Structure 1
Amino acid sequence: MPPRLVLHEDPVSGNCYKIRLTAAHVDVPLERRAYDILKGETRTSAFLGEVDAGGRIPVLQIGDDFLPESNAACVYLAHGSALIPADRFDHADMLRWMFWEQYSHEPNVATLRFWRRYVGEGALSEAQAALLPAKKAAGRAALAQMDAHLSRADWMAAGRFTLADIALYAYTHVAGEGGFDLAAYPNVQRWLDRVAAQPGHVLFE
């Protein structure tokens, strides 16, 4: 019998969305347990003691085990599916883009979306406000790198739809909420349409 899968999430998070999107593409049902990070619901003693000691989401609960980190959860769900290339290089290239998403893309594109939509630039701390120019520049650079890559390929890795596309789609398709003009990246826009047209696609709630 397959283990019970529970996604501990904040539904407004793109990192949580990518797990739901992966599950939809591989037709794996998830139970969902919502938390509001702005209300500190992932900082309670119960959450820290039972779900994740770091107080972060998403966390995929697999039976009695808890797996943090969104891309790790996506890999777990997609194991053995067409979303993960079997070819050794293609597999590594998929992972390369997933690592890049968490290092170069998400810290800038996602952070600015969160600050603008959910915190408000006027409510940022002095330290956060000082980071705005650098994060805007780094976010634009990440989107430009994607656009250049997608000028030569329809997909991020392996010449087809993989977890790399899911990982990058989550925050790229809402980059406008962070103040990024996606019209400046036409290849990214066409790729977003291709991802959204894939069978099994579900919308960000």
Structure 2
Amino acid sequence: MKIYGDRQSGNSYKLLLVTSFLEIPYEWQDIDIKKGETKTDSFLKMNPNGKIPILILDDGRILSESNAILNYLAEGSDLIPKDRFEKAKVLQWQFFEQYSHEPYIAVARFISHYLGIPEERRAEYESKQEGGHKALRVLETQLTKSKFLVGDSITTADISLFAYTHVAHQGGFDLSLYPKVLEWIKRIESLERFKPMNSI
């Protein structure tokens, strides 16, 4: 199978992590967002939404949306709980990631780390700080109760939230304010077969 993604993208990084943890073979295809490679006719045929990552299976079927791909790849593994309620909790955290976390932390990171906070986007960057800190506080609260987001072992919920949280400082977020989050980051980084973001 083939994964189309950007090496700097947290959404793409989720798939690097799950394939590494589960030792799933794949072929990587670099897509440069800043060069407009998600807007080409050939890419839009694969994903009309013009976003990465996408997964192309051996039989040609295509999946988009990072968390959908992540859960597809992890299906049947210990990364997805068997218990119905705990599985729903994983999905709860993944919806949180896409609606209450990524729009603030990932966007602030992009504006700061990749664009250098141009003046025309400074107000947008600053507007993302409150929402990002709110999301980090939610994570901190949960991680005072459990080692991982859903119990005492890693799930796809952790992979989803780790991807942009561990680089949140690149968006101007001081992670030292969130000691339990920092412990959780170190816990994930210490797992067997962990790979850092730029190791694709």
Q: TM-score, normalised by structure 1?
A: 0.93
Aligned to 2:55: 60
Aligned to 1:190: 183
Aligned to 2:118: 122
2:34 to 19, 32, 38: 38
Deviation at 1:35, TM superposition (A): 1.1
Counterparts in 2 of 1:22-37, with a 5 A limit?
Answer: 22-37=18-33
In the alignment, structure 1 residue 135 sits paired with structure 2 residue 128: yes
Runs of 4+ in 1 over 6 A off after TM superposition: none
What's the secondary structure of 1:33's corresponding residue? strand
Aligned to 1:73: 69
- Structure 2: how far apart are the matches of 1:175 and 1:130? 18
Q: Structure 1 unaligned runs (5+)?
A: none
Deviation at 1:160, TM superposition (A): 1.6
In the alignment, structure 1 residue 106 sits paired with structure 2 residue 102: yes
Provide the aligned length of Structure 1 versus Structure 2: 197
2:148 to 126, 144, 155: 155
Contact 1:109 1:172 in 2 (8 A): yes
Which digits, 9 at most, give the CA deviation of each residue in 1:82-116, with x for residues without a partner? 00000011110111101101110111001111111
Contact 2:54 2:66 in 1 (8 A): yes
2:110 alignment partner AA: F
Q: Structure 2 unaligned runs (5+)?
A: none
Q: TM-score, normalised by structure 2?
A: 0.95
Which digits, 9 at most, give the CA deviation of each residue in 1:99-157, with x for residues without a partner? 1011101110011111111122125x4xx433333310000010011011111111101
Aligned to 1:10: 6
Aligned to 1:204: 197
What's the secondary structure of 1:8's corresponding residue? strand
Report sequence identity in percent: 41
- Structure 2: how far apart are the matches of 1:92 and 1:45? 37
What's the secondary structure of 2:118's corresponding residue? helix
Deviation at 1:159, TM superposition (A): 2.9
1:38 alignment partner AA: K
The RMSD of aligned alpha carbons is: 1.1
Which digits, 9 at most, give the CA deviation of each residue in 1:145-178, with x for residues without a partner? 1011111111101332111111111100000100
